[in-house]
Structure 1
Amino acid sequence: MRVLVVEDEEELAGMIAAGLRSSGIVADVALDGGQAMEMTAAADYDVLVLDRDLPGIHGDAVCRMLTGAGYPARILMLTAAGSLRDLVDGLGKGADDYLAKPFSYVELVARLQALARRGPSGTPAVLEHQGLRLDTLRRIAERDGSLLWLTPKEFGVLEALMTADGAPLRPADLLEMVWDCHTPPESTTVKVTVHQLRRKLGPPPLITTVPGFGYRL
Structure 2
Amino acid sequence: MRILLAEDDQRIAESLAEALAAQHYIVDVATDGEKGWDFVRTFAYDLCLLDVILPELDGISLCQRVRSHGYQMPILLVTARDATNDIVTGLDAGADDYVRKPYKLQELLARIRALLRRGNTTLSPVMEWGSLQIDPNICQATYEGKPLHLTPKEYRLLELLLRRNGCILSRSNILENLWSFEEPPEEDAVKAIVKRLRQKLKAAGAPSDFVATAYGMGYYLQQRSQQQFRNYEEATSCQSVNSSSLVGRTGISS
Deviation at 1:32, TM superposition (A): 0.5
Instruction: Evaluate the alpha carbon distance shift between residue 73 and residue 56 of structure 1 in structure 2; reply closer, same or farther with a 3 A threshold.
Output: same
Instruction: Give the corresponding residue for 2:6.
Output: 6
Any idea what SS the aligned residue of 2:106 has? helix
Q: Normalization by structure 1: what TM-score?
A: 0.85
Q: Secondary structure at the match of 1:24?
A: coil
- The residue correspondences of 1:82-121 to structure 2 (distance < 5 A) are 82=82, 85-118=85-118
Please state how far the C-alpha of 1:189 moved relative to its aligned partner: 0.8
Task: Using structure 2 for the length normalisation, give the TM-score.
Answer: 0.74
Instruction: Determine helix, strand or coil for the equivalent of 2:177.
Output: helix
- Gaps (5+ residues) in structure 2? 222-254
For the pair 1:157 / 2:157, whether they are aligned, the reply is yes
Partners in 2 of 1:71 and 1:50 — Cα distance?
15
Conserved? CA contact 1:129–1:162, under 8 Å: yes
What amino acid is aligned across from residue 56 of structure 1 in structure 2? E
Is the contact between residue 117 and residue 125 of structure 1 (CA under 8 Å) also seen in structure 2? Answer: no
Distance 1:211 1:117 in 2: 38
Aligned in 2, Cα 1:187/1:82: closer, same or farther, shift over 3 Å? farther
What CA deviation, in whole Å up to 9, does each residue of 1:116-170 have, x standing for no partner?
33468x9826433333222334332111211111112101211222334444322
Q: Deviations over 1:12-55 (max 9, x none)?
A: 11221122223332222111101111222222222211112222
Tell me how many residue pairs correspond in the alignment: 216
Kindly indicate whether residue 217 of structure 2 is the aligned counterpart of residue 213 of structure 1: yes
State the 1:106 CA deviation: 1.0
The runs of 5 or more residues in structure 1 that have no matched partner are none
Root-mean-square deviation (Å):
2.6
User: CA 1:89–1:126 in 2, change beyond 3 Å: closer, same or farther?
Assistant: farther
Q: CA deviation at 1:185?
A: 5.8
1:150 is paired with a residue whose SS is: coil
Query: Could you list the per-position Cα deviations for residues 192-215 of structure 1 after superposition, in whole angstroms to 9, with x for gaps in the alignment?
Result: 111211222232444333333222
Q: Is the 8 A contact 1:172 1:185 kept in 2?
A: no
- Deviation at residue 186 of structure 1 after TM alignment: 6.1
Partner of residue 44, structure 2? 44
Three-state SS of the structure 1 residue aligned to 2:40 is helix
Amino acid across the alignment from 2:98: Y
Q: In the alignment, which residue of structure 1 is the partner of 2:231?
A: none
Cα gap change, 1:186 to 1:102, in 2 (>3 Å)? closer
What secondary structure does 2:45 align onto? coil
**Offset of 1:83 from its aligned partner?**
5.8
CA 174–80 in structure 1, closer or farther in 2 if over 3 Å, else same: same
Contact 1:74 1:119 survives alignment (8 Å): no
Kindly tell me: are residues 4 and 168 of structure 1, through their superposed partners in 2, closer, same or farther at Cα, counting changes over 3 Å? same
State the alpha-carbon separation in 2 of the partners of residues 22 and 72 from structure 1: 25
Pairing 1:1-217 to 2, within 5 Å after superposition: 1-71=1-71, 73-82=73-82, 85-118=85-118, 124=124, 126-184=126-184, 187-202=187-202, 203-204=206-207, 205-217=209-221
Once the two structures are overlaid, the 10-residue window that deviates more, 84-93 or 144-153, is: 84-93
Shift in alpha-carbon separation, 1:67–1:161, aligned structure 2, 3 A: farther
* Cα distance in 2, alignment partners of residues 210 and 75 from structure 1: 39
